[in-house]
Structure 1
Amino acid sequence: MQRRFLILLFSLFVLGTLAACGTQSKEDVVKKLEKQSEEMAGYKTEANMKMKTGKAEQKYHIQVWHKKDDFYRVKLNSDKDEKGSQIILKNDSGVYVLTPALNKSFKFQSEWPQNTSQPYLYASLLNDIKADDDAEFTTSDKYYEFKTKTNYQNNKTLPYQKIFFDKKSYQPVMVQVFDQDMNALVEVQFANFAKDDSLKKEDFDVDKNMAMAPTEAPVANMEGQELEEVLYPEETFGAELAEEQEVKTDDGKRIIMSYAGEKNFTLVQEKAEVEAASALFSVQVNGDPVQLEGGVIGAMENNRLEWTQDGTTYQLASDELTKDEMISVASSIYNGDMVK
């Protein structure tokens, strides 16, 4: 009898120990995530992103390379513009946004990606979790889930996110970004996340990355084209189109729109110019790269925003719109049918 009792007591002890070992607290998981980040020499991953912040859902594919400590290569392709990819590079000389189709690059004096949330970067997700003392933590059969505040410097309309990590590998699986009403407006699905020790500094070189994508540069197809469509923003913050000018240029025409109202702004659009490969240089920007809808990265500097989409270069300038408002105006050009 006593022997049976001891066996039962031992069994209960073992079961209790196993149960305790299988229960991970928020602190335990964060420590595991930190350890994995510290031990990774680098990683490669792919992700699909859906954005529902406008009238039409935007989809694009993202490829991420990261080398410890601060080297990044993020390639973005919109589903609607497969050849018009952009690449965000961070190396030991700065932050760059490359548009291989135009042989064009911007160089930023920026703290990217540390200064803002990036839902497709492992370190950014971990930083957001650690920065939020009120982060909520739950578990399911397959995932560890964190609900945290976001840190979007140029977009305050997406304040929350849910981050899902695989319970076995501690690798990111999905990120959902929410508005104030907890509507999921952005979703990132990760695939093929793999540690990679083979990445070298040369993999993050500007010239090498511009040369890596010759098939993506439809230079011949763009030469001689003129601006065919004039697009108009849906979001104007109460301003109305007061004047529209068409100016002849060597490459076709430039459209200059002046909007007047409580907050005035000017929008310029013209055919994107393909830079000669022999004259390749990076335009210096004292500002930050900003993400617009449709997988487009723009260059924001003071009161001016420049970006390229579907073979057209846009410039938006205003002394009265905030950065958030300028991004909203720029993004709204692609929300539905804006052709006048």
Structure 2
Amino acid sequence: MKKMFGMWVVVIVGLIFVLSACGEQSQEDVVEKLESNLESMNGYKAKAEMTMNTGQEDQKYQIDVWHKKKDLYRVELSNEQDEEGNQIILKNEDGVFVLSPALNKSFKFQEEWPQNGSQPYLYQSLVNDILKDNEAEFSTSEDYYVFETKTNYQSNNNLPYQEVYFDKKLYTPVMVKVLDKDRNALVQVDFSEFNTDPTFEDDDFAMEKNMTSGMADAPVSGEGETDPFSVIYPQNMLGSELVEESEVDTENGERVIMTFSGDKNFTLIQEKQEVATTMNSPKMVEGEIVNLGHAIGALSDNTIEWTSNGSNFVLASEELTRDELIEVAQSVKGKEVK
């Protein structure tokens, strides 16, 4: 009888060992696999939808990501409400650029994007955030491996955490939730496609190709009907109020200068310009790329510049902090048709 009992113990222990060997991957196993995938792939193409919950109503953006090893990136962001507002973050051998092809406008940055901060739509950024966070939390569900990590958003200190969901079979990102201090999801990225064996044309990351492809359907000066110029005001004025608004006709279009005074003084300039027929040289920026939710902006010193809804915007202040500049710029969404 004792011999039979002993055999059953051996069998049960063996089954437990087999089941554990065939069971869930550990956090270390998953991290190792993610690193291995990142190292072995030559690039990827991904499509995703980004939902911003930072305003009164959600804003959705389509994101098309191309990455070619080692350091070539093309991230296109678009939304249905702003047909002229497609923007491309481009990194090639010549530098880092933000392109607004429909307006023939481009910025060149002196910065180490994307390594200098979290990027919720880039695979390597998500993996690097996991590797850097020694306190990252790990869990599993039926279909996903889930990590909660700290983030590094230099332009937004209100988003300190993120949840990253990876497909259990492919180890590719499925969903990212960027969280505020109370663990509320303010940004969500849902991946619909992720191709780890893509093909690229030789000039896919060339600035000229990316600029001219977006200008193909853009109206040329003097052609077609002109849309009414809509002045767009900030919804968050940080205790200040609009005290002066002046209009100026320029050689290239219309310009509105808005002066705000109160707790903090600042100026917002909006300019509607005709699209040039030839490609201009990019404007150099001694600053960084910031995601304003409704647009990609260029932050430098006391100024943020961006394009949206066919207009160029410049927000400037000697009194607003860097975070306050971003906060006001993010709220420039309300419209009033002149």
TM over 0.5: yes
Q: How does 1:305-320 map to 2 (within 5 A)?
A: 305-320=304-319
Q: Secondary structure at the match of 1:33?
A: helix
Q: What is aligned with 1:291?
A: 291
Check conservation: 2:121, 2:189, Cα contact below 8 A: yes
- Tell me how far apart the structure 2 counterparts of residues 339 and 163 of structure 1 sit (CA, whole Å): 41
- Confirm or deny that 1:258 pairs with 2:259: yes
- Tell me how far apart the structure 1 counterparts of residues 177 and 300 of structure 2 sit (CA, whole Å): 29
C-alpha spacing 1:288/1:201, structure 2 compared with 1 (3 Å):
farther
The alignment of Structure 1 onto Structure 2 pairs a total of residues equal to 337
Letter in 1 for 2:310: G
Q: What is aligned with 1:243?
A: 244
Which of 302-311 and 31-40 deviates more? 302-311
Q: Deviations over 1:247-306 (max 9, x none)?
A: 2222443111111223211111121331232x4311111111111122x11111211111
Check conservation: 1:61, 1:77, Cα contact below 8 A: yes
Question: Taking every aligned residue pair, what percent have the same amino acid on both sides?
Answer: 53
**Residue 118 (structure 1) shift:** 0.7
C-alpha spacing 1:216/1:74, structure 2 compared with 1 (3 Å):
farther
Check conservation: 1:252, 1:271, Cα contact below 8 A: yes
Q: How does 1:103-142 map to 2 (within 5 A)?
A: 103-142=104-143
Check conservation: 2:220, 2:274, Cα contact below 8 A: no
Q: How does 1:73-92 map to 2 (within 5 A)?
A: 73-92=74-93
Q: Secondary structure at the match of 1:123?
A: helix
Q: Secondary structure at the match of 1:29?
A: helix
Check conservation: 1:42, 1:199, Cα contact below 8 A: no
- Tell me how far apart the structure 2 counterparts of residues 82 and 337 of structure 1 sit (CA, whole Å): 16
- Tell me how far apart the structure 2 counterparts of residues 30 and 4 of structure 1 sit (CA, whole Å): 41
Letter in 1 for 2:276: E
**Residue 333 (structure 1) shift:** 1.5
- Tell me how far apart the structure 2 counterparts of residues 45 and 221 of structure 1 sit (CA, whole Å): 38
- Tell me how far apart the structure 2 counterparts of residues 75 and 87 of structure 1 sit (CA, whole Å): 4
Q: What is aligned with 2:322?
A: 323
**Residue 156 (structure 1) shift:** 0.8
C-alpha spacing 1:262/1:211, structure 2 compared with 1 (3 Å):
same
- Tell me how far apart the structure 1 counterparts of residues 197 and 170 of structure 2 sit (CA, whole Å): 15
C-alpha spacing 1:222/1:130, structure 2 compared with 1 (3 Å):
farther
Q: Secondary structure at the match of 1:202?
A: coil
- Tell me how far apart the structure 2 counterparts of residues 201 and 156 of structure 1 sit (CA, whole Å): 38
Q: What is aligned with 2:96?
A: 95
| TM-score after normalising by structure 2 | 0.92
**Residue 202 (structure 1) shift:** 2.7
Q: What is aligned with 2:280?
A: 280
Q: Secondary structure at the match of 2:203?
A: helix
- Tell me how far apart the structure 2 counterparts of residues 155 and 339 of structure 1 sit (CA, whole Å): 31
Q: What is aligned with 2:27?
A: 26
Check conservation: 2:109, 2:288, Cα contact below 8 A: yes
**Residue 22 (structure 1) shift:** 2.2
C-alpha spacing 1:20/1:230, structure 2 compared with 1 (3 Å):
same
| TM-score after normalising by structure 1 | 0.91
